[in-house]
Amino acid sequence: MMANPEKIEACSALPLGQCRRGFKGKLVSVSPVATQGGFDAEELERRLLELGFIEGASVQILHEGPFGRDPIAVRVNDTTVALRRHEAMAILAE
C-alpha cells in the first residue's frame, strides 16, 4: 500500500504510518529521520510532541482518508489528530 524505504529498527514496534484502521497501541518513540518533504526532522519531532505524540501515550487509528487510506485520524491520549501517513512514519508504536 505504501512503499517505505526507511528501516524499522525496533523489533516489535511499527511505524504508525504503516498501520491500518483499528490499530491500538502504545507509542514507543518519536524519531523522525530526515524526511523527503514536510519539515526537517527536528521540527517534525517538535510538532508531533506538541500534538501529544510522546513516548508512552496510547495511540489508536480511528479513521483513514477515503482516498488511498490517507491521511489518518489518530486518537492520542484524549485528543484526535489528523496527519498524513508520510509524517506518521516518524512515530513508532507497538
Partner 1 sequence: MTSASAIPAPQDILPDPDAQTIEAALVGAPNCGKTALFNAMTGATQKVGNYSGVTVERKVGIATTPSGRKFSVIDLPGTHSLRARSPDEEVTRDVLLGQRPGERVPDMLLAVADATNLRGALRLVNELKKVGLPIVLILNMIDIARHRGLQIDHEALSAELGIPVIPATAVRRGGLDALWEVVDPMLEAGLPERRPSTWQAPSSHDLRIAMREAERLVTAHVVQPPAPDTASARIDRVVLHPVAGPLILLGILFLMFQAVFSWAAPFMDAIDAVFGWLGALVAQVVPAGLVQSFLADGIVAGIGSVIIFLPQILFTFLFILLLEDFGYMARAAFLMDRVMGKAGLNGRAFIPLLSSFACAIPGIMAARVIDNRRDRLTTILVAPLMTCSARIPVYTLIIAAFIPNVKVFGGLSLQGLVMFGLYAAGVFSVLIVAFVARYVFAREERNAPLMLDLPDYKMPRPRNIALGLYQRARVFLRRAGTVIFWAMVVIWALSTFPQPPEGATQPAINYSLAAMIGKAVAPILAPLGFNWQIAVALVPGMAAREVAVAGLATVYAVSGEGGLIHTLAGQWSLATALALLAWYIFAPQCISTLAVIRREAGSAKWMWVAVVYMFALAYLAAFATYQIAAALGAG
Q: Which stretches of the chain bind partner 1, using CB under 8 A?
A: 37-39, 42, 44-52, 54-56, 62-68, 70-71, 73, 77-84, 86-87
CB of 16 to partner 1, least distance (A): 13
C-alpha 52/C-alpha 27 separation (Å) is 11
521540527: which residue's cell? 43
- The set of cell numbers assigned to 52 is 501529544
CB of 30 to partner 1, least distance (A): 8
Nearer to partner 1, 11 or 91 (CB): 91
C-alpha 8/C-alpha 79 separation (Å) is 26
CB of 6 to partner 1, least distance (A): 16
Backbone angles phi, psi at 13, to 5 degrees: -80, 145
Nearer to partner 1, 55 or 94 (CB): 55
